Amino acid sequence: MTRFFLKLFSIFFLISCNENSEIQRTEVITDSYFFQKNTFNMNLYKCNSPNQNFNSTYKKTPDLSNFYKFSELIEKDEEVDNCVLIYAQINELTPLKEQLLTGDIYMEVSNCNSRVEEDILIDALKPYLNYLKENDVQVWTGISSLEKDYFLWINIWESEEYREKFLLEWVNSNNSGKIAKTLMSSAVCENPSTYLFL
């Protein structure tokens, strides 16, 4: 009789466990290129004249008129006399190229206007990001969050020479037209400003 009750109890226990459990699905992500991305806080100063006494934690252009710092800490730095401060939180799109953020940096900054919502914009960038990955292009790319359809597009290249060579090859490739058309339907960017930071 005890045996019967134990079997009955076991059946009720198993049934109740099955009724309470939710079906869980697990998706395995095998490509780290599209996750584990950081957000960096960028402080970029454009000064009207050379500034030799600027904060030493900043990288600087050779003419001492532009300064920048990326940080994972949220910190908008203070205004500096005779300088314009551009502050933005930059969402990393190419995490495998973070090593380009160290040492001398050739930076390209574009002011852009989005024609679509942020998630659609990120989807429109995927063919371009796939091209960068498949061809092991030495560029770190990030964009700021949208603010009234405005965002910054940041590229950090291995060097100015590398960028020029890549752009020459890119313009003459079949992919450039296809990807440019996709991007143009989502955003329009001004010609970029470029800086060499030491």
- Residue 77: the pLDDT is 85
Read off the DSSP letter of residue 49: S
Read off the DSSP letter of residue 146: P
Token readout for 13 is: 């226990």
- Residue 3: the pLDDT is 53
Closest CA to 61 of 74, 50, 77, 72: 50
HSE-up of 50 (CA within 13 Å, CB side)? 5
- Residue 157: the pLDDT is 95
The answer to whether 49 and 88 have CB atoms below 8 angstroms apart is no
| Displacement of CA 71 from its chain's centroid (Å) | 13
Spatial separation of the C-alpha atoms in residues 181 and 127, rounded to whole Å: 11
Query: pLDDT 10s per residue in the chain (198 long)?
Result: 555 444 444 454 455 455 444 444 444 444 444 456 789 999 999 999 999 989 889 999 999 999 999 888 778 888 899 999 999 999 999 888 888 988 899 999 999 999 999 889 989 999 889 989 999 999 999 999 899 999 999 999 999 999 999 999 888 888 788 888 888 889 999 999 999 999
- Residue 29: the pLDDT is 43
Domains assigned to the chain: 30-197 (3.30.70)
Spatial separation of the C-alpha atoms in residues 190 and 44, rounded to whole Å: 18
Q: What is the CA radius of gyration of the chain?
A: 25
- What is the pTM assigned to this prediction? 0.78
Which residues touch 82 (CB under 8 Å, ≥6 apart)? 47, 48, 49, 51
Phi, psi of 105 (to 5 degrees): -130, 130
Residue 131, H or E segment? helix 118-134
- Residue 9: the pLDDT is 46
